[in-house]
Amino acid sequence: MDMPKHSDAAKAHFRGLVSDGPGVEVKPMFGSLGAFVNGNMFAGLFGENIGVKLDAAGLEELRAVPGSGPFGPAGRPMGGYLSLPHDLDDAALTAWVERARDHVATLPPKVKKPNT
């Protein structure tokens, strides 16, 4: 599977959309970046695309926004995630990212597996 390249500007932009908060961290993932709350990913960068994980109602709402679409590799998009339209301004992008964070924060924290 080909992993799309992203620019340093795209990585900086993604980091700028993720607000600090309890349990929130941005970390490298598969050569790109993911944003996590309590160990669960709520947003990610795939190439130049920003994707968010939402509940069913949020996914339906975002799916209706022109320019949204599958998030992840072609043919194997990530379930529960959609890419945000490229033409949204930073305020709208941040609102979607925060909505994803708020949704994922309701999930049980990810339990780290012990090193064996």
* 44-68 residue pLDDT tens: 999 899 999 999 999 999 999 999 9
Residue 86 in contact with residue 65, Cβ under 8 Å?
no
Q: In the predicted model, what is the mean pLDDT of residues 33-47?
A: 96
- Given CATH 3.90.1170.50, say whether it is the number of domain 8-104: no
**% of the chain at pLDDT higher than 70:** 96
CA-wise closest residue to 72 among 97, 100, 51: 51
Residue-range domain boundaries for the chain: 8-104
Predicted confidence band at 112 (pLDDT cuts at 50, 70, 90)? confident
Cα dihedral 33, 110, 18, 92 sign:
positive
pLDDT of residue 2: 61
Q: What CA–CA distance (Å, rounded) separates 93 from 102?
A: 14
Predicted confidence band at 86 (pLDDT cuts at 50, 70, 90)? very high
